[in-house]
Structure 1
């Protein structure tokens, strides 16, 4: 049974690569109907698969029939978490449903192993890390991104980049809802199929377009699967 009020829908939020739950700070779900829970990245043990990590993260979900919402790499993770839970709904934002939606540069990295040469120690530099995590020009947003990028441990960064590049999912999670911006620089819209398109939305739209989500996310959560 849920540890929260039975009348509320538990919504678990998973941030993107290296990001903190603060990326969701401006989201406002009606408290009468929803209970929001914010998950955080932890440093994986050596050799941990994405599925093993998803199992560990699923153990932090204490409600029955939760809604899982993940952004970017967090969207990939919540799809893997769904195998260990019985979620009411899975929603991904600025993410991909299968490896078929990966941009070509990630496919090249997958087969050439070029990502293994990436000096992730440089990603402790917030400007470099923000380009990998958010894909936006950062000259005017550096302080903002420094606030949101919380995980700079090279063990996590090496692991996360490898798991993104080598993601094996071939079929989308049944009933999944995909929200994607048509100006996303990390996962370009031309590779994305079957999504709710946000006009002008970038990879960071969960931060910069929070009003769009506040207006629409409650209805998206409550919408019946058959009508999505």
Structure 2
């Protein structure tokens, strides 16, 4: 029996290393990791999705995306035939965005975000206090793969301006009830993970390892 190909797309600027604790049965699934590429100037998200879709070499794969990666795999799903599209800590439409993101779109406030500061983790460390904060910064250093200013500006704008109004009911949505980026009160329908935050791919990996196989295999 041929294995089921499962492609994982990380969140905004993140490395595929965020999936290092996700272990699927190798006799059933073939795990493939996708990476962010630097976008072309003013490249529409749909064009970018088409470009990333060319990295998918298997027919009828399962696409799994985290956060902005969840938005991207939904766009990739327009270009290829996917067995399933699963999003984690993400949204199925722009209607599920929190109020601050909707206001940011109207006012273009997202253009004021200091991207250079976000990229310069070392300078953030100088202003951090306490072991907990420094541990978090070390975590960011490990998992923040793309430190390109143009990418970051493009990615933030692509999220804010994503205009899908209709939810695709075939997209499976896994979401934590403690997600601080996309609060659960705005999410219409999902598989709920109790205690799951926006980074539950890192700290709820046991739940995901136990449940992802059956979610993928359900017809």
**TM-score, normalisation: structure 2:** 0.93
1:171 Cα offset (Å)? 1.4
SS in 1 for 2:170: coil
The match for 1:172 among 167, 183, 187 is 167
- Inter-partner Cα distance in structure 2 for 1:83 and 1:178: 17
Q: 1:119 aligns with which of 110, 114, 123?
A: 114
For 1:200 and 1:126, locate their aligned partners in 2 and report how far apart those are by CA, in whole Å.
27
- SS of alignment partner, residue 17 of structure 1: coil
Q: Name the counterpart of 2:207.
A: 212
The number of equivalent residue pairs is 212
Please say if residues 127 and 138 of structure 1, whose CA atoms lie closer than 8 Å, have aligned partners that are also in contact. no
Give 5+ residue unaligned stretches, structure 1: 1-5, 130-136
Q: Does 1:197 align with 2:202?
A: no
Residue 44 of structure 1 aligns with which residue?
39
- The answer to whether the 8 A contact 1:126-1:149 is kept is no
Aligned to 2:5: 10
- Distance (whole Å) between structure 2 residues aligned to residue 60 and residue 201 of structure 1: 30
Q: Which of 80, 83, 90 is the equivalent residue of 1:88?
A: 83
CA distance in 1, matches of 2:78, 2:161: 19
TM-score, normalised with respect to structure 1:
0.90
TM superposition shift of 1:121: 1.3
Listed as ranges, the matches of 1:113-192 within 5 Å are 113-126=108-121, 138-192=133-187
Cα offsets for 1:93-140 (capped at 9, x unmatched): 0000000000111001000001112221111123899xxxxxxx8444
Aligned to 1:58: 53
Spell out, residue by residue over 1:165-185, the C-alpha distance to the aligned partner (whole angstroms, 9 max, x if none): 100111123411000000000
Give the secondary-structure state (helix, strand or coil) at the position aligned to 2:215.
Answer: helix
CA distance in 1, matches of 2:202, 2:69: 15
Report deviation, 1:35: 0.3
Looking at structure 1, the residues matched to 148 and 83 of structure 2 have their Cα atoms a distance apart, in angstroms, of 33
Specify whether residues 138 and 18 from structure 1 end up closer, same or farther in structure 2 by C-alpha distance, changes over 3 A only.
farther
C-alpha distance in structure 2 between counterparts of 1:128 and 1:159, whole Å: 23
User: For the residues of structure 2 that align with 1:209 and 1:146, how far apart are their CA atoms?
Assistant: 20
